[in-house]
Amino acid sequence: MPSTSQNSPFEFRVALAGLGTVGQGVVRLLQEEGPRYRERFGIDLQLVSILDRSYQQKDTSWISSSVTWTESLEDFLGTPSDIVVELIGGMDPADQIIRTGLEQGKSVVTANKLVMARCGTEYLKLAARKNSYLGFEASVAGGIPIIRLVSHSIFPDRVSQVRGILNGTCNFILSEMADGGRDYQDALTQAQSLGYAEVDPALDVSGGDARDKLAILSTLCFHTGIGPDEIPTRGITELVPVDFLYARKLDSTIKLLGVAARKGENLCLRVSPFLIDNQLPLSKISGVLNAVEVTGATVGSVLISGKGAGEGPTAVSVMADILNAARWKRDTSGAQVAPGMECGSESGQFDQMVSCGEDERYPFYVRFIVKDRPGITATLTHILAEREINIDLVLQERWSDRSNLPFVITVEPTLYSSMQEAVAEMKKLDFNRVEPFALPMLKE
């Protein structure tokens, strides 16, 4: 028997920009679960308007007839509502919608990682000034509530590190290359045919999408304004099947990670494929799943995983923000409040942080594919020795084709920049058939 709220429900008018996949998921949830939200939480969500440039080409017959439809940004921005939900994506007009909503003192919810990574700290400052609620749970890792976990659960602790599998497309491709022995192009085609990769996959496979999400997470976790362009980023396109063979030999798995780690006053940021020891929980996150691991000085490591994209999971995160905004609005109406509850910064101010240079050390995996001849190992090890890089292992599996011979050198923890210099030197050598390729390793 459902319970009923003693008070009359709190009306909350929702204006929605963008009726794509996620937008449709949000409308579906609102229509199907609205009665439950009313009874259970005392909140009556009213969908009042939808902005969509091509709504006339879409089937909208299933959507409540009380909605006002518009193709005009101006009309949409002028419609009275309590919350604006921005699900268009991209910079424009998303940026304008978010700013205008906040300026008008409305609550704003967005799933847009692009604008949040670039303008998030400005939005947070604006929200703080205008006493508005800004929710962006769905902008990072879809259905995984990592924003709330960081801003409401782990925030009493000092976060020392956050790292995660933030792009489902890349994780699917890497899982296919690892388990199915496919090469990169095959795995990408497979991802595209299943709808897990765009026709133009550049933003995903270049690491750009993961980089934007890492910028948002770092801003929250370290209370510092990090622009995506400040994050060194490398995608997954250089990986070849033999890398997965050697990864297995090293009892490891290759994953594209976003990593942000505090080292003293510095913050080391990086998006790159990593070779992850199979004892580490992140190595087990396969296919299109995402996962984020947050480490605090006192709480230790907390790992959360789930679906990082898709209509349903993302819509649930958007709806959680809408309902929390409604609760917040209802419970604080009339009161003078210090806003920015979601921001990690109640004052809307952020630290400057020096980004990492001398402090970023990893063990490395370096893969070579060469035309075999005497002296190769001597040449390579000399380049490493010159930079005081210690070799850990030299691995060479049986291989019949001596003119395309793969082998691997792993080295002990080394400054990232030293390793880059060494690899740049190694790339000049004439015995290479494919450019030498270095991956940082995670062991602990």
Interface of this chain with a copy of itself, residues 38 to 97, rule: CB under 8 A? 40-42
Among 72, 347, 390, 417, binds a copy of itself (CB under 8 A): 347
How far apart CA 367 and CA 118 sit, in angstroms, is 35
List the one residue out of 440, 300, 436 whose CA is nearest residue 380.
Answer: 436
Among 319, 325, 383, 408, binds a copy of itself (CB under 8 A): 319
Task: Please work out the total of residues on this chain that contact a copy of itself, with binding judged by CB under 8 A.
Answer: 71
How far apart CA 318 and CA 80 sit, in angstroms, is 20
Distance from CA of residue 201 to its chain's centroid? 16
| 8 Å CB contact between 178 and 319 | no
Site for a copy of itself in 142-171 (CB under 8 A): 143-145, 148-149, 152-158
Question: Least separation, in Å, of the C-beta of 309 and a copy of itself?
Answer: 11
Question: Least separation, in Å, of the C-beta of 172 and a copy of itself?
Answer: 15
120's CB contacts (< 8 A; 6+ apart) are 136, 215, 216, 219
Helix, strand or coil, per DSSP, at residue 1: coil
Among 331, 358, 401, 412, binds a copy of itself (CB under 8 A): 331
| 8 Å CB contact between 291 and 303 | yes
Q: For a copy of itself, which stretch binds (CB under 8 A), given 31-39, 60-68, 253-261, 415-423?
A: 31-39
Question: Least separation, in Å, of the C-beta of 337 and a copy of itself?
Answer: 4
For residues 73, 75, 80 and 81, what is the CA-based torsion angle, rounded to 10 degrees?
A: -30
How far apart CA 415 and CA 419 sit, in angstroms, is 6
| 8 Å CB contact between 28 and 21 | no
List the one residue out of 78, 92, 70 whose CA is nearest residue 19.
Answer: 70
Among 62, 74, 195, 334, binds a copy of itself (CB under 8 A): 334
Q: Which is nearer to a copy of itself, 233 or 324 (CB)?
A: 324
Among 161, 192, 349, 404, binds a copy of itself (CB under 8 A): 349
Does 312 contact a copy of itself by CB under 8 A? yes
Kindly report the number of other CB atoms within 10 A of residue 25's CB atom. Answer: 20
DSSP 91: S
How far apart CA 240 and CA 368 sit, in angstroms, is 11
Does 220 contact a copy of itself by CB under 8 A? no
Q: For a copy of itself, which stretch binds (CB under 8 A), given 313-321, 364-372, 397-405, 417-425?
A: 313-321
Q: For a copy of itself, which stretch binds (CB under 8 A), given 171-179, 245-253, 320-328, 360-368?
A: 320-328
How far apart CA 391 and CA 410 sit, in angstroms, is 6
Task: Given the residues 106, 113, 125, 213, select the one marked as catalytic.
Answer: 213
Question: Least separation, in Å, of the C-beta of 234 and a copy of itself?
Answer: 28
Question: Least separation, in Å, of the C-beta of 140 and a copy of itself?
Answer: 13
Does 194 contact a copy of itself by CB under 8 A? no
Structure tokens at 110: 């967005």
How far apart CA 271 and CA 289 sit, in angstroms, is 17
Site for a copy of itself in 365-424 (CB under 8 A): none
Q: For a copy of itself, which stretch binds (CB under 8 A), given 107-115, 196-204, 310-318, 363-371?
A: 310-318
Annotation says 113 is catalytic: no
Kindly report the number of other CB atoms within 10 A of residue 100's CB atom. Answer: 17
Site for a copy of itself in 248-307 (CB under 8 A): 281, 284, 296, 298-307
How far apart CA 251 and CA 245 sit, in angstroms, is 10
Does 223 contact a copy of itself by CB under 8 A? yes
Does 20 contact a copy of itself by CB under 8 A? no
Among 95, 137, 243, 360, binds a copy of itself (CB under 8 A): 137
Q: Which is nearer to a copy of itself, 216 or 271 (CB)?
A: 216
Catalytic residues: 213
